[in-house]
Amino acid sequence: MLDPQTRLADLPIHYLDMVLDEIFNVPPPWLQPEAKRPETIADVAAMIGQDQGTVTAKFRSIIGMSVGIEIAPKNLQDLLAASASGDPTRPVLVDVRERWEYDICHLADSILLTEANYPALLPQLRLAKKVVTICHHGVRSLSAALFLRQQGVETATSLAGGVDLWAVEVDTAMARY
């Protein structure tokens, strides 16, 4: 049961600093090491000037959306192997890195998400059976998967460990950076 006195350390959120930064605009400790870190949901509410009930509800929603939000490289490899290109059950791979990163290495058939193609891509993603977001180490893609779930892409997941772990566990010939 979540309430304003729930300790952040007790929340089942893997990337808590990223969630605090991306969703609540609380900078991570490496950006502001001197800043006091919030310890409870009430502390977050006080820091951002929002009602404790609203912040508690937002954390509850984040936890709910986070269930099953990551997919291991080997599991993605199995899903891709089980479906041919063009198969509607095949996962849609959405790369959320910068163009230069994508140019170094990327998974076959992945789509580089840009500001220009996002509006046209979103309706397609909402209809997809499975969407997998991809980045370098799995942090940006986790944020993207959470964001996409908030936009109605209920099947959005993040490639755990990103292309770097993919290159280690699945495609050892893939370029790394």
Widest distance between CA atoms in the chain: 52
Q: Work out whether the CA dihedral 132, 118, 100, 147 comes out positive or negative.
A: negative
- Band (161; pLDDT cuts 50, 70, 90): very high
> How far apart are alpha carbons 27 and 19 in whole angstroms?
10
CB 128 within 8 A of CB 94: no
Q: pLDDT tens digit string along 4-60?
A: 999 999 998 878 888 898 889 998 888 888 888 999 999 999 999 999 999 999 999
Residues in the chain: 177
SS3 79: helix
Q: Is 105 a catalytic residue?
A: no
Question: Which one of the listed residues 62, 76, 134, 135 is annotated catalytic?
Answer: 135
User: Above pLDDT 70, what percent of the chain?
Assistant: 100
With contact defined as beta carbons under 8 Å apart, do 142 and 70 qualify? Answer: yes
pTM of the model: 0.78
- Domains delineated in the chain: 8-66 (no CATH), 70-169 (3.40.250.10)
Average pLDDT of span 116-121 = 95
